[in-house]
Amino acid sequence: MSIPSFAREIRGVVEDGSHASIAGASVTLLQGRNRQTQITGVDGSFEFAAVSAEQVQIEVASQGFAETRRTVKPGTTNLSLSIILDPESVRSQVVVTASRTALPIAETPESVQVLSREELESSGALAIDDVLRNVAGFDLFRRNSSRTANPTTQGVSLRGVGSSGASRALILLDGVPVTDPFGGWMNWSTIPRAAVDSVELLRGGASDLYGGQALSGVVQMLTRIPEATDADLDVSYGNQRTPSASGYIGHVFGKWTASLAADYFRTEGYIPVESSQRGLVDNPANSLHRNGELFLQRQISQRSRFFIRGLGYDDSRHNGTIIEVNRTRAWQAVAGLDVETAAGDLLQLRGYGGTEDDHQTFASVAANRASESLARVQTVPSRQWGLSAQYSHLFSPRNTLLAGVDASSVTGESDDEIFIAGNPSSLVNAGGHDVSVGVFAEDIARLTSRWIVTGVFRVDHWQTLSGFSNTTSLLTSNFVPTNFANRSETALAPKLASSYHLNDSIELRGSVYRSFRTPTLNELYRSFRLGNIVTLANQQLRAERLTGWEAGPAEKLLNGKLRLQQSFFWASVHRPIANVTLSTTPALITRMRENIGSTRALGFEAQADWELMKWADLAAQYQFVDATVTSFPANPMLVGNLVPEVPRHEFTFQTRYSNPAFFTAAVQARSSSSVFDDDLNTLPLDSYFKLDAFLSRRISSNMDVYIAGENLLSQHFMVARTPIVTLGSPLTARVGIQLHLRR
């Protein structure tokens, strides 16, 4: 019996689990060789007319949701369907960092890495920065962990651009900057670990959306928002006398949501100087930090809300000698408002402000390291505030426009007391005021169901105002004031990116962009000392400018269980700020921050993520980068030198088995080739290999016990030469308990 060939209509609506309409969903009708695609309207509806009575396959996909299929049997008359989409799995997460609006990784043209809460909790590493080192291309100015490192050495570099203390990637917490306002470095002990839900890393220039600190990318930490009662507590104790606790509790009260998170960490540390070079002044580098975060939210509608957040921390450290110590105290307050219109447009407003006080002492160490004398006592107070507004509008199911404006202000100074031979010599007070304003517009165009093009254009204006340096001699009482002229710069930061799916398995991605970074107040006005190296400030620094591109394929194999991604990239930085050596003597190396001519980073990265089975997965990443100085008219001898602290080869590997009925086991490894610690390429740091592991066993539905270790092979890898060699931490291990409550 043949099936009638009469025409019919198939219409319907696409909704989520709460029956809210999903606009912009892709609905594809497949019937033999016939393929039709529609994009749902604001009300989530779709309609296909004149469909023959033969069997029909309907595929529905939308960002943030798992793809679903519906079969319509032959002979069925006119239909009205209600299709419910479920949230995506962890392997197809929605990211917000690449476009400042939610996009699934499959639709993101840029190179984005997402670390889930499960990956963070099952890492052998305790500090967030050490977990992030599992991403090839993520590098800090120094190789050692934030457990004991001076926070001023924790600037982030992505894709071989390099750093000199100040981060060349922007660090965000829920869209708000959390880097040090004065110096641009990142104190990783700021954020309670238990509050972090996931971390997104965008590699490549990102100033088009994020402004003057996103030269080489963005690292964004996203915090947890409870859906009912949600509580966690992680308590551990490890060698080097290291107690640690991180806790989180959140609850929903009708339309109100509240959460509280806090960390406590202390370690006696280790002696960082190589044993053959140690002297009487060398002591363990230890640290103590405490932080806390309070979050309060009022839900107005499904996507409309108002929230406030308070964050505070206290961090103190001994830096490896008797005299050298530092302490940082800071707080930050954030307020935000999200308003959704009836048409589905979204307005997001953010305001933030805070203060930070940093205190450090610096010493001059004798050549035999048998004695040291106080060289400098430094106090750095700073204040910051910022505002941002962002509006997104769905012009059509295939076109989304995003526009925004942001502004920030930083005021700070460095108050120094200088000592000669241990005796007070002079007082130096230097600082200024930075103001920046930026506007941007982004268009996300779904040209077809397989082709997405994103275009962004941004303009920023930066000013450094009221710069000064005052010196008072304590020997003669002579006072010398110096006022610096106000300066300003304007930067354009466009980007064009595209993602094209050749088929269901292969995607091509590419982007071209301009990016920039403005000098920090620290680089302009604060001099400092590390060992027997003095680095001078430079009030005439100009903004760095980056031009770059990236391109490569991404593949999904084995029914999507194996995901591969490769990218070739190139970036040229004009006027990069570097620590340039001025003079070298056996007792003192003097450097100054300078804009050198240009550097270039040319490289390749590859990534594989393999879901071996339901409970097990494996991931590996590799990056090669050739980062060299390409011009410096003031000192041609540096041309051809490698950019300091940038390894040519990096390889990371992670594997995890997690079955709640049995146990969770994870192994992480990182290998890095040698680097140079100076611009002259005379102070090499050896290559290293680091192995971490984590093993936990569920005792009850609310409790897990675990053991974890970092640097299991206890490799003595070099982290700095001043020119004394300092080392990273040997093996650290801990045992702990994780408590969970979900209601």
Give me the amino acid identity at 212.
G
Secondary structure tally for the chain: helices H, strands E? 4, 48
What is the average per-residue pLDDT within 669-674? 96
Structural domain for 82, as ranges: 8-87
- Assign residue 506 the CATH number of its domain: 2.40.170.20
* HSE-CB of 545 using CA atoms within 13 angstroms: 12
Question: Do 634 and 646 share a domain, yes or no?
Answer: yes
* pLDDT of res. 65: 67
Asked if 135 and 439 count as a contact pair (C-beta separation under 8 A), the reply is no
* Residue 580 CB coordination number (10 Å): 22
Question: Do 19 and 129 share a domain, yes or no?
Answer: no
Tokens matching residue 270: 């280790």
298 pLDDT higher than 70? yes
Question: Do 44 and 162 share a domain, yes or no?
Answer: no
Question: Do 97 and 63 share a domain, yes or no?
Answer: no
pLDDT band with cut points at 50, 70 and 90 for residue 511: very high
Chosen domain end from 87, 112, 140 = 87
Tokens matching residue 122: 């099952």
β pairing state of 230-238 and 156-158: unpaired
* Total-model pTM: 0.86
- Which residue from 302, 396, 452 is spatially nearest to 41, judged by alpha carbons? 396
Cβ neighbours of residue 276 under 8 Å, at least 6 residues apart? none
Question: Do 392 and 414 share a domain, yes or no?
Answer: yes
What is the average per-residue pLDDT within 507-512? 96
Q: In the chain, pLDDT over 90 holds for what percent of residues?
A: 67
pLDDT band with cut points at 50, 70 and 90 for residue 610: very high
Question: Do 61 and 141 share a domain, yes or no?
Answer: no
471 pLDDT higher than 80? yes
* pLDDT of res. 427: 95
Question: Do 169 and 64 share a domain, yes or no?
Answer: no
Question: Do 571 and 643 share a domain, yes or no?
Answer: yes
Instruction: Give residue 604's Cα distance to chain centre.
Output: 20
What is the average per-residue pLDDT within 227-240? 93
Q: Using only C-alpha atoms, what is the Rg of the chain?
A: 27
* Residue 1 CB coordination number (10 Å): 2
Give me the amino acid identity at 183.
G
Chosen domain end from 67, 87, 107 = 87
Residue 2 lies in a domain: no
Structural domain count of the chain: 2
Q: What is the DSSP string of 240-275?
A: TTEEEEEEEEEEEETTEEEEEEEEEEEEEEE--B-G
Chosen domain end from 52, 70, 87 = 87
Report the range of poorest mean pLDDT among 56-70, 106-120, 142-156, 629-643: 56-70
Question: Do 114 and 42 share a domain, yes or no?
Answer: no
Question: Do 62 and 205 share a domain, yes or no?
Answer: no
Secondary structure of residue 130 in the 3-state scheme: helix
Residue 304 lies in a domain: yes
pLDDT band with cut points at 50, 70 and 90 for residue 532: confident
Question: Do 361 and 404 share a domain, yes or no?
Answer: yes
Torsion of CA 127, 132, 138, 139, to 10 degrees: 10
Residue 3 lies in a domain: no
Residue 522 lies in a domain: yes
